[in-house]
Amino acid sequence: MPQNIQIHLDNRPVGEAQASNFKHVVAETPPLQDGQVLVRHHYLSLDPYMRGRMNDAKSYAAPQALGQTMGGGTVGEVIESRHAQYAVGDQVVGMGGWQQYSVVNGDQPGALRKVDTTHVPLSAYLGAVGMPGVTAWYGLVKIIEPQAGQTLVVSAATGAVGSAFAALSKARGCRTVGVAGGPDKCRYAVEELGLDACIDYKQHSSAASLSKALRAECPNGIDGYFENVGGMVLDAVLPLMNAFGRIAVCGMIAGYNGAPLPLAYPALILTNRLKLQGFIVSEHMDVWPTALKELGLLVATGKLRARESVAQGIDAAPEAFLGLLKGRNFGKQLVKLV
């Protein structure tokens, strides 16, 4: 069995996460038992939610255990199998974590899923046709419930979730405006993702200034907002929300280091009778097949052209992850292992 390089969480961060929170470990891969498969990971996924799991605090998921492999999504191929439903060479998506190989119980529900790479690249199953894409789908379809002609806004518009949201919302005939960091990202949002406009939040030092820029691109107000960031961006959006507007809260990356995120005008939620709902996509597995079918078609037909930032090698994972938290990635952040 091959030696397996893993990245463990060695200690919990205080404030910002640091490379010193992680540890490189070489482990032996155990022999397979009946019903198990050995997967060689080709890519591993880096996602903002992982920062919250590094803390030992109450959350929707258990904290990442110290001294254990960092959890996360993976795609790869089966290289040995003792399970009747998986053959050597099958390409699969799972939650193998920050390591080169994983031994998976093939009978465990949701642990492993075979994927077809004929029209969809393997890496896309960690992004546009994976958890981030389904996250965008659920927030849009089930919470925002858009109607053609409405105006929608999405923060972190060029990330893995935001780019999927752009394609899904435009497919439903909505005017869709993004918020992203930097002119290159905003140009990509408009020219390649098809957003109607994109506001560079880095050009604004206050919520009032950002709100003014958003108002110019949303003259009829905002009917639905997909929240990935929080903080100043949410304060900028709230005054522009139309009555009975809907806000899907997916992430609050501005507060992932533990600092509180006060809301400037919470009374607007009442005044405009807004629906503001947080959600965790793993709690809604019933919608995944429907969402993945639409997302796969969008990618296969070129209507969703999501970018990827790819770091090389398992030891690049910590620095790539820290860069993701600071917005240095362009699109979905992956680590290529093969």
- Count of C-beta atoms within a 10 Å radius of residue 277: 13
Q: Is residue 237 located within the same domain as residue 249? A: yes
For residue 102, is it within any domain? yes
Q: Is residue 86 located within the same domain as residue 123? A: yes
Residue 192 contacts residue 162 (beta carbons within 8 Å): no
pLDDT at position 112, please? 95
Q: Is residue 88 located within the same domain as residue 109? A: yes
**47-83 confidence digits (pLDDT tens):** 988 998 999 887 777 899 999 999 999 999 999 999 9
Q: Is residue 222 located within the same domain as residue 264? A: yes
Q: Which domain holds residue 236?
A: 131-282
Determine the angle formed by the axes of helices 160-171 and 288-300, rounding to 10 degrees: 90
How would you write the pLDDT of the chain (338 residues) with one tens digit per residue? 899 999 999 999 998 999 999 999 999 999 999 999 999 999 999 998 899 899 988 777 789 999 999 999 999 999 999 999 999 999 999 999 999 999 999 999 889 999 999 999 999 999 999 999 999 999 999 999 999 999 999 999 999 999 999 999 999 999 999 999 999 999 999 999 999 999 999 999 999 999 999 999 999 999 999 999 999 999 999 999 999 999 999 988 877 776 778 899 999 999 999 999 999 999 999 999 999 999 999 999 999 988 999 999 999 999 999 999 988 888 899 999 99
By three-state DSSP, how is residue 119 classified? coil
For residue 98, is it within any domain? yes
pTM of the shown model: 0.91
Q: Is residue 202 located within the same domain as residue 272? A: yes
Q: Where are the beta strands (DSSP E) in the chain?
A: 3-9, 22-28, 36-46, 74-81, 91-94, 101-105, 112-114, 151-155, 175-180, 197-200, 222-227, 241-249, 275-278, 308-312, 332-336
Residue 45: C-alpha distances to residues 98, 128, 217, 254 (Å): 8, 12, 33, 20
pLDDT at position 85, please? 96
For residue 97, is it within any domain? yes
pLDDT at position 273, please? 98
Find tokens 């093939």 and name the residue: 106
Residue 322 contacts residue 19 (beta carbons within 8 Å): yes
Q: Is residue 118 located within the same domain as residue 227? A: no
Q: Is residue 19 located within the same domain as residue 121? A: yes
For residue 299, is it within any domain? no
Q: What is the number of domains present in the chain?
A: 2
Q: Is residue 146 located within the same domain as residue 278? A: yes
Nearest to 185 by CA among 213, 207, 155: 155
For residue 59, is it within any domain? yes
Distance between first and last Cα of the chain:
17
Amino acid residing at 94: G
For residue 35, is it within any domain? yes
Q: Is residue 155 located within the same domain as residue 118? A: no
- Count of C-beta atoms within a 10 Å radius of residue 24: 13
> What CATH number should be reported for the domain holding residue 179?
3.40.50.720
Q: Is residue 145 located within the same domain as residue 43? A: no
d(CA 284, CA 279): 9
pLDDT at position 200, please? 98
For residue 300, is it within any domain? no
For residue 207, is it within any domain? yes
